[in-house]
Amino acid sequence: MNHSNKVIALESRLRHCKNVITLGVRPDFSDYSEEEKTLILTSDTIFYPSSFYSDLFDAMGKKIFPSVHTYRFAQDKIKQTALFKLLDIPHPATRIFYANTKKEKIASYFTYPYIGKIPRGSALGRGVFLIHNQNDLEAYCRLTKVAYIQEYLPIDRDIRVVIIGDRIVHAYWRINPPGEFRSNVWLGAEVSLDNVPEKARELALYTARHCGWNDVGIDICECTNRYYVLEANMKYGKHGFRKAGIDYNQMMEEIIRNGEL
């Protein structure tokens, strides 16, 4: 049996792909069977190894997908913003504030309204707040020890560009529901397949390539004739794919079969 020809994944992302064997994530490697250990150690690439194993496999020189950088920046807005600044990627004005003096310091840099976000672990639009006044700020600061404050851009939609490997596989608009400042589908945003501007697509691809992310949904908005990268989502949803009639699992099967990753 030629184990190296088997396509192995640990996390469940590809569990419905017919050409992938999903083993599950077991932090204690000894919990894998001998057959599973052999599959892992002899496979050319480990797909979706988990944040735990991505660093371990990277340290031992084993190829993984997504990249170790993709895992390291997942659901960490602070690190993403720092990288955007280092790479001079257009991003809304953002600052991080620490300690008990953060409320006073915020007033030195931002005027109402502005955005406050829970900087780590939040998703689906949860943990994002539009701060209009001191009461809003007090309520937000009670939720987090680290304040992630971002300028408010008066937009009613943004663009999700999904990049897998080194290419864009899907791009679409997310239109805010009435009375909502967030464009998350989970909160009722409408997916629109209207033409996505080429400049937004180019900025998303540039961002993913320079940040070392190869499985990511890049969120971009246009405001006052400029495009901004809002954030990167490594655990993006599939609703936009379904709206476009794209079978995500079949697409991934084909990408893997063609050796594109």
Q: 93-151 and 157-257 share one CATH topology?
A: no
Residues 237 and 123 sit within 8 Å (Cβ to Cβ):
no
Residues 19 and 9 sit within 8 Å (Cβ to Cβ):
no
- Read off the pTM: 0.93
Provide CATH code, domain 93-151. Answer: 3.30.1490.20
100 Cβ partners below 8 Å, 6+ apart?
none
Tens of pLDDT, residues 223-254: 999 999 999 999 999 999 999 999 999 999 99
R_g (Cα) of the chain, nearest Å: 20
Whole-angstrom CA distances from 175 to 35, 183, 189, 258 are: 48, 6, 5, 34
Tens of pLDDT, residues 188-200: 789 999 999 999 9
Tens of pLDDT, residues 50-101: 999 999 999 999 999 999 999 999 999 999 999 999 999 999 999 999 876 6
Look at residues 196, 150, 154, 141 and name the one whose alpha carbon lies nearest to residue 173. 196
Residue with tokens 């995500």: 248
Candidate ranges 116-130, 135-149, 201-215; pick with highest mean pLDDT: 201-215
Residues 184 and 158 sit within 8 Å (Cβ to Cβ):
no
For the chain, give the number of residues.
261
Class at the top of the CATH hierarchy for domain 157-257: alpha beta
Residue spans of the domains in the chain: they are 3-65, 93-151, 157-257
Residues 169 and 238 sit within 8 Å (Cβ to Cβ):
no
Tens of pLDDT, residues 150-189: 999 999 999 999 999 999 999 999 999 888 888 888 777 8
